[in-house]
Each structure stands twice: as C-alpha cells, then as structure tokens.
Amino acid sequence: MILVLGGSGCGKSAYAEKRIQEAAVKNHATIYYLATMQVYGEEGRKKVERHIELRRGKGMLTIEQTREIADSIRQMQEGPRVVLLEDLGNLVANEMFQSDGTVNSPKMVAEKIVTQLKMISAKVSGLIIVSNNVFEDGIEYEEGTMNYIRALGEIHQKLTGEAEEVVEVVAGIPVTLKV
Amino acid sequence: MELYLGGRAQGKLALALQRYPHAKVFDETCREENLSDADVVIWNHLHLFVKTWLSQEKEPTQIWEMVADLLDQHPGMVVICDEIGNGIVPMDQEERRYREETGRLLCKIAARADKVERILCGISRRIK
C-alpha cells in the first residue's frame, strides 16, 4: 500500500498515475482505477465519461465506487491487478454524510474505511491511495466539517501504519514521509 | 531559478534576503521595470499575483506565459510563494480555482527550478 497525499493542484494525481503504471508493469497486472467521486447532473456525468475514456487510453479500467469501497473487489477480473483509488477525501465524505441527512460518526467511518481498504490491499498486487491534505487552513468549521477532518486525519494515521510508503507531493515533487 | 514554498510568516523572504542581500525584491506593490539592473531578483508573494490574474479572468495558459516570460528575463530569480492548498476545498468556485491554479502553476515552476525549498519556522528543507 502506498499513500499519496497533497493539497490542491499539487500534482498528486499525476504522480500516483505514474507509480501505478510502474507497479502494473512490474506485476504484469491490470490497473483498476477506483473513482470515489459522487457525480451530479448530466454535465458532471459527461465530464466523468470523458475521464473514463482518457484513463482507458492509459490502460486503466475504471470502477465507480462512491461508498462500500471493498465491493469493488467483486468487479475485478481474476489475475494480477493493481489498484489506484482516487480519492480518499471523497470516499470519507460519502461514507459520512448520508443522503437522508444523517451523519455517521468519524470513528465509525474511519474504522469501516480502514477495514475495507485492508481487504482490498490483501487481494491485489499493489494499492495506491490518493488523499488530500485538508488539515492546514486554520479555519474552525461547523461540527460536520470538523468531524470530517477528524475522520480523514484518523484514517491517514492508521493507513500510514499499514503502508510501505507514504509520499507527500509538493509542487509536483514527491517528498517521502515513510519508506 | 529557485522556488521557496511555505506557509505564511515562516521566514521565506528573510531566508532569500540572507542568501542574496543585494537582491531586488519585487512584489504586488511595485512595478517590474526597475528590475533591469538587479543582480538577483526576488519575486515575492506569487500567490497574490495568481489571485489578481484570475480576478482579471486570465486563463492558466496566459498566466504561465507571463510567468515563463519573467523567468526568462531573470534567470537567477528566487520565486517565493505561500502554500495555500492544504485545506478543505472551498465551496466558493473562485476560491477553489485560486488554490488549484496556484498549485498547478507551482508544479510548472518547480519543474523548471534548479532548486526548490520548503520553509517552516525559518528552517528550510530542500526538496529538489
């Protein structure tokens, strides 16, 4: 497992793509891209379809999985495979804020996601998780957002225990936090 | 060219001035025409330039052309920019764009830079 994180526009996606392609070559594996973003409206759908096509051109098969991330395993073919998940921030939001207005606790969300990511990791030759550094703007948000930040922070800490590598991308430059 | 990154008030400019005491500092408050005789140019507050350019509805490609132009004119330039992207992605589209485009611009500048440093508490860590 490799955790790749960074802020807005830092180049984390491009870096993660490069790494997953290297992992695919090394393992002679199929690349699955787990897209976690919830898509709204026709315009959003069109944009997503375009991105799916672009990724297909790069040899990546997209699975859209906005929650229950471990369910994606069933949609993968047998044989060697590597997985790029983008991104963890969206997955946490989707698991936390339910469509009926209820909000799951950060602890529950964190436990569920970490468990499911470990399940995926055990079934694939490589897992790269792209996530967001949302922790340094110094703003006191309302409770929902603060809980979201806590959940994501807790997941990061748990995943860094699991991951062989943790990389922060700064201005397109990978800065290794753990090897 | 060198790029210095870091949060607010971390001593980025002080570090640049310590290294290049005779440099001319160029920021949002001054004009660029008086830079021709400068040995080293420090371009401070890059993020504020991005903010202004976006408010003038400049496209990212135009912004990059302007920046690349300045970098060409002053090959040994030190570019200083706040890191502004490490927060909750704002709901407001302009604020979102400001963070995103500043980040993308920094990737391009960093790719061209001979040296990239990240500064925290006045302590610099070279990342390229």
pLDDT < 70 stretches in chain A: none
Cβ–Cβ under 8 Å, residues B24 and B30: no
Please report, for the domain that includes residue A33, its CATH number. 3.40.50.300
Question: Which residues of chain B approach chain A closer than 8 Å at the C-beta?
Answer: 3, 5, 7, 83-89, 96, 99-111, 116, 118, 127-128
pLDDT at B39 (0 to 100): 85
- Chain B nearest CA to A139, separation (Å): 9
In angstroms, the CA A34 to CA B7 distance is: 32
pLDDT tier at B33 (50, 70, 90 boundaries)? low
Q: Give the 3-state secondary structure of residue A66.
A: coil
Domain B2-126 listed as CATH 3.40.50.300: yes
The number of folded domains in chain A is: 1
Mutate to test the interface with B, among A170, A175, A176, A177 (most CBs of B within 10 A): A170
Give the nearest partner residue to B85 out of A8, A145, A149, using CB atoms: A8
Give the nearest partner residue to A173 out of B85, B99, B116, using CB atoms: B116
pLDDT digits (tens, 9 = 90+) for B58-68: 999 999 999 99
pLDDT at B36 (0 to 100): 75
Residue whose token pair is 């660029």: B32
Mutate to test the interface with A, among B101, B106, B119 (most CBs of A within 10 A): B106
Q: Which residues of B touch A141 (CB under 8 A)?
A: 88
The residue ranges of every structural domain in chain B are 2-126
Looking only at the bridges linking them, the beta strands covering A165-170 and A173-178 are: antiparallel
Cis peptide before B82 (omega within 30 of 0): no
Which of A97-111, B33-47, B67-81 comes out lowest in average pLDDT?
B33-47
pLDDT at B37 (0 to 100): 78
Nearest to B78 by CA among B34, B123, B115: B115
Kind and range of the H or E element at B42?
A: strand B41-43
Q: Where in the sequence is the domain holding A135, given as residue range(s)?
A: 2-142+150-178
